[in-house]
């Protein structure tokens, strides 16, 4: 039985005599990030629509701010920490967005 190679030859390049691994493509993180953003924006809008009958004030500003901040940090992580876990940023965005929806619900309840 042949032994499997220790190095993946397709993802390994040689530069100046030392092996250099290519940066991973972060498509999975981007897909999860888009899903987390959509769930968070939907939850925020749903809370406002359920309580008041219309979207909350400044809904589009807050939604675009969430999208911009999340995509900015996706690019930062892609360049400065390419080997980071691709699930952490989408989980953080989802938790923050649902937290904002809960804060809105408490704020609109008047208690």
Q: What is the pLDDT of residues 69-102, one digit of tens each?
A: 999 999 999 999 988 999 999 999 999 999 999 9
Say if residue 2's pLDDT is above 90. no
In whole angstroms, what is the distance from residue 103 CA to residue 96 CA? Answer: 10
pTM comes to 0.78
Contact between residue 66 and residue 7 where contact means Cβ atoms under 8 Å apart: no
Q: What percent of the chain has pLDDT over 90?
A: 69
Mean pLDDT of the chain: 86
């Amino acid at each position: 039985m042949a032994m499997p190679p220790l190095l993946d030859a397709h993802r390994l390049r040689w530069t100046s005599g030392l092996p250099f691994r290519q940066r991973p493509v972060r498509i999975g993180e981007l897909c999860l990030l888009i899903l987390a953003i959509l769930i968070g924006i939907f939850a925020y809008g749903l809370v406002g629509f359920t309580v008041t009958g219309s979207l909350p004030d400044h809904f589009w500003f807050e939604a675009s701010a969430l999208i911009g901040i999340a995509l900015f940090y996706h690019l930062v992580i892609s360049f400065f920490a390419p080997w980071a876990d691709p699930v952490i940023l989408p989980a953080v965005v989802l938790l923050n967005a649902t937290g904002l929806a809960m804060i809105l619900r408490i704020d609109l309840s008047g208690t």
